[in-house]
A and B are shown apart, each in its own frame.
Chain A
Amino acid sequence: MHEGAIAQSVVEVLRDIKDQNGLLSITSATLKIGAISGVVVDALLFAFEAIQKEEDFIKDTKLNIIYVNVKARCSICGKTFEFDNTDDLVMICPDCQMPLAIINGKELEIVDVEGQ
C-alpha cells in the first residue's frame, strides 16, 4: 500500500500552499485521481485520515475526489474512447487497429484548495 506515501505527498503540497499563501489551516482540497494512476481512493482517504491526527493545519481538511476514467485517442482517425471500467481497457482502435494514446486516467493531481 503506497497510498501512505501518496497521502504524505498530498500533505507536503498542502503545507507549501498554506505557507505560500499565509493560511493557518486548509479547509478543503480537491484531488483528481485517475483510474490507472495506481492509487486506490479509499486507501488514500484512509491514509490521509491517519496523518490528519498528527497535523493541526489539516485537522479539518475535507478531501474532494474527482475520479477520472481512462480516455484514449486514436492517432489515425482521432476518435476518442472512454472506459468506465479498467477491466474493459483495450488500447487498440477498433477501426484502425492502431494503438490508442492515453489522454486521461493517469492523473494524480491537486486541483484546488480552500483555506483560512
Chain B
Amino acid sequence: MKRIVVEKKILEKNDDIANSIRNLLDKNHIFSLNVMSSPGAGKTTLIERIVEALKPEYKIAAIDGDLDTQRDAQRIAALGIEAVQINTSGTCHLDSSMVQKALNDISLDLDLLIIENVGNLVCPASFYLGTHKNAVLISTPEGDDKVKKYPTMFNVADVVLINKMDIAQFVNFNVEKVENEIKELNPNAIIFKISAIKNEGLSEFINWIKKNIELLKHQ
C-alpha cells in the first residue's frame, strides 16, 4: 500500500484550459463576459440589447451554450455579429474545453466576447471559463427567494442584473429584499435593475461594459 499526497484541484484540467483562454483574450485585448441565469430569465434578450447598443462602436462576438437547438445563436447572429452555438447535448453547463473549441471558429479581431452559459443557476458556477467577468441574471417572476438558495452562483457574480423589473409588482417581487441578500452574500457585486425586453435601466450596465472594454484595450 502506498500513500500519495496529491493536493490537486479536481477541476485542474478545466482551469488550465480556462487560463489559456484568458491569456488568449488578454493578448488580443478582448473583454469577455460570462452570462449566467436560470432558463428564461432573459439572457438572450439581454445580449441582444448589449449588441444593439455597442455594435456601432465595438466588434462583438457571442458564444451560446444550450443543450439543444441553434435558436439562441441564430437570434444573436440576426443582429449582424458572429455567433457560435455550442450544443452540450445534455450537459448542464459550459466547460472551458467547449469554449476553447468554439473560439476556433471565431475571428479574434474583437473588442467584446459574450458567452451565454446554459440556463442553470447551479452548475455553471463551478466551471471557470477564463472570462473576465461573470454577469448573473435573476428575473422577477422566478421569485424573490433565489439569492440565498443559490449562494455559489451569486457569490461568483461580479454583476447581478435583476431583470423583468417592468412586471415586478405583478409577481410580488420584493426588490429591496433581493438587493439586501445579494449585498450580504457578495458585497462587491454591482447590482443593476433592468427590463431587457423594454430596454429600460440598461444604460449604466452598458457603460460598465464599455468601461471594461476600454480598460482592456489600453492594457
Contact = CB atoms under 8 A, between A and B. Distances in A.
Contact of A2 (B13, B122, B148, B185): B122
B125 A38 contact: yes
A17 B13 contact: no
B114 to A, nearest CB: 22
Interface in A86-115: 86-87, 89-92, 98-100, 102, 108-115
A78 B9 CA distance: 27
By Cβ-Cβ distance, the 8 closest A-B pairs, closest first, are: A2-B123, A38-B152, A99-B187, A38-B126, A108-B10, A90-B184, A110-B6, A38-B125
B124 to A, nearest CB: 8
B181 to A, nearest CB: 10
Given A5-B91, A112-B7, A113-B3, 17 more contacts: A1-B92, A2-B126, A6-B126, A9-B11, A13-B8, A90-B184, A92-B183, A108-B9, A108-B11, A109-B8, A109-B9, A111-B5, A112-B4, A113-B6, A114-B1, A114-B4, A115-B2
Contact of A108 (B3, B126, B148): B126
Interface in A4-53: 5-6, 9-10, 12-13, 17, 21, 23, 27, 31, 36-39
24 contacts: A1-B92, A2-B122, A2-B126, A5-B123, A6-B11, A9-B11, A9-B14, A13-B12, A21-B2, A23-B2, A27-B1, A36-B151, A38-B126, A38-B153, A91-B186, A92-B183, A99-B187, A100-B187, A109-B10, A110-B10, A112-B5, A115-B1, A115-B4, A116-B2
Contacts of A6: 10-11, 126
B10 A17 contact: no
B6 A13 contact: yes
Interface residues of A, number: 36
Contacts, number: 99
A10 B10 contact: yes
Interface string B92-125: 1101000000000000000000000000001101
Main secondary structure on B side of the interface with A: mixed
A39 B126 contact: yes
A12 to B, nearest CB: 7
A83 to B, nearest CB: 10
A114 B3 contact: yes
A1 B155 contact: no
A91 B186 CA distance: 6
B169 interface: no
Contacts of B2: 21, 23, 114-116
A73 B143 CA distance: 31
Contacts of A17: 4, 6
B188 interface: yes
A116 B12 CA distance: 24
A79 to B, nearest CB: 16
